[in-house]
């Protein structure tokens, strides 16, 4: 039987210093072709978890398996074929054209001259089409809006053609419409390409509607459940202080608190 689990962690501790882990006992099972959101309040460790899963940050303790093999046994080059990233606030060269930027996703597969083969070009064209940025191909990254740039960054990860894509707040700085648009795009990608996307987000309302699984980081504890289970178990009720917003179970969304403040 084929193993359906892509990312598996067991009693994982993450953080910047071994004496002060940001979160402990993280046991996750992320399946292939699923859309998984990491949610939590500011500073709860969403980005830290993503960095640990991508190898940017070494894990402090516990087991971490990728495709059934221990993460630490992978070389950089092997990982490049398994995990691609979409990061925020990256200080990258804005002088790159959109197509150059996306083509760099093929970097692990090209020869020492970095030449893209015909097969590479087909994959790149497919990635560009999938996120719908054909009309921007020749523009410089400098000339793009935030929403356009986000799509281009997603296309680059698609061009890398890895079974897993990790994204850090792919919807930050976007307006409400474009937030929904990007998340919808992610959903389509997981369904059409069988890739797994794990992303950190503040868009809890949208994530509850679109994601297969939610990883909730709250009070140094990490739980992974489906949106239905999360609502049933009332796990979201205490996420934020209740003076301003409350979780409304009937609409499965956070709303402004109607209670009079004392």
For another protein, the binding residues (CB under 8 A) are 54-56, 76-81, 83-85, 87, 90-97, 100-101, 104-105, 107-108, 110, 112-114, 142, 156, 160
Does residue 11 come out as left (phi exceeding 0), alpha (psi in the -120 to 50 range) or beta?
left
Nearer to another protein, 19 or 95 (CB): 95
Query: Considering the complex, what minimum distance in angstroms separates the CB of residue 113 from another protein?
Result: 6
Query: Considering the complex, what minimum distance in angstroms separates the CB of residue 237 from another protein?
Result: 35
Nearer to another protein, 75 or 261 (CB): 75
Helices 146-160 and 176-193, packing angle to 10 deg: 10
Helices 118-131 and 146-160, packing angle to 10 deg: 140
Neighbours of 172 (CB within 10 A): 15
Query: Considering the complex, what minimum distance in angstroms separates the CB of residue 35 from another protein?
Result: 20
Query: Considering the complex, what minimum distance in angstroms separates the CB of residue 143 from another protein?
Result: 11
Nearer to another protein, 97 or 225 (CB): 97
Nearer to another protein, 195 or 206 (CB): 195
Nearer to another protein, 60 or 166 (CB): 166
Query: Considering the complex, what minimum distance in angstroms separates the CB of residue 108 from another protein?
Result: 5
């Amino acid at each position: 039987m084929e193993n359906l689990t892509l990312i598996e962690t067991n009693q994982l501790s993450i953080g910047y210093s071994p004496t002060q882990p940001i979160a402990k006992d993280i046991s996750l099972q992320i399946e292939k072709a699923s859309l998984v959101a990491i949610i939590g309040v500011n500073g709860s460790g969403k980005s830290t978890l993503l960095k640990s899963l991508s190898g940017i940050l070494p894990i402090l303790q516990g087991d971490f398996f990728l495709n059934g093999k221990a993460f630490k046994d992978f070389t950089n080059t092997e990982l490049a074929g398994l995990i691609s990233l979409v990061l925020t606030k990256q200080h990258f060269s804005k002088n790159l054209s959109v197509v150059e930027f996306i083509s760099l996703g093929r970097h692990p597969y090209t020869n020492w001259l970095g030449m893209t083969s015909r097969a590479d070009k087909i994959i790149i064209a497919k990635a560009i089409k999938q996120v719908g940025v054909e009309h921007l191909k020749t523009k410089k990254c400098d000339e793009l809006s935030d929403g356009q740039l986000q799509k281009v960054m997603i296309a680059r990860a698609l061009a890398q053609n890895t079974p897993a894509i990790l994204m850090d707040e792919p919807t930050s700085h976007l307006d409400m419409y474009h937030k929904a648009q990007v998340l919808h795009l992610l959903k389509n990608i997981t369904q059409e390409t069988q890739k797994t996307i794990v992303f950190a987000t503040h868009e809890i309302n949208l994530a509850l509607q679109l994601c297969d699984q939610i990883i909730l980081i709250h009070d140094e504890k990490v739980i992974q459940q489906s949106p239905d289970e999360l609502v049933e178990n009332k796990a979201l009720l205490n996420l934020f202080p209740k003076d301003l917003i409350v979780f409304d179970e009937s609409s499965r969304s956070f709303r402004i608190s109607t209670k009079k403040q004392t």
